[in-house]
Structure 1
Amino acid sequence: AAGLPANAGALAAAIQAIHPDVLDKAICLTAMSASDATYSALLQMYALAASNTVSSRVLSGLTCVLDPAKIQDLLTRTATPFIKL
């Protein structure tokens, strides 16, 4: 995917192969055990999402992170323009 680093591009390509009806669940499962690099890639996918539907599904999946630092980061981002509410 254009504009994404290599690791995010690979993740984006894999996620594009997933049926849209289960995309948020697939991202949720990915986010649950996400490394820092995978979490960053998911955030970049959210930021660069081509539609509100995709950004909503990525954000929904991101809420599944289990790492307290990543939860805090996501909560902090809700108070910034990064999260499109």
Structure 2
Amino acid sequence: MKARRQSRVLDEVSHVPPSTQCLLKNFRKRTVALGSVSNDVPSTDSYNITIDDIFDYTTELYVGEGTFGDISIGDTITWPMPFVEPI
């Protein structure tokens, strides 16, 4: 008898499944952007997020200098895990 395997594998380190749509929050927990979690996790405390929509162009980016106004829809950024909310 073969064991059944799950077709969807979740990243054991993260609490958000890969390719899940999510809200990006700022440090005041306000929603600043909509994105999708990429399949790779750059570290144990952040996600790579592909940006689908931007709500606050003045929010500073987590990595590097600049704000959401400096990036485009479709770009991938790094965002801290505690500020990513799956939807």
User: Going by fraction, where is strand more abundant, 1 or 2?
Assistant: 2
- TM above 0.5, yes or no, is no
User: Going by fraction, where is helix more abundant, 1 or 2?
Assistant: 1
What TM-score results when the alignment is normalised by the length of structure 2? Answer: 0.29
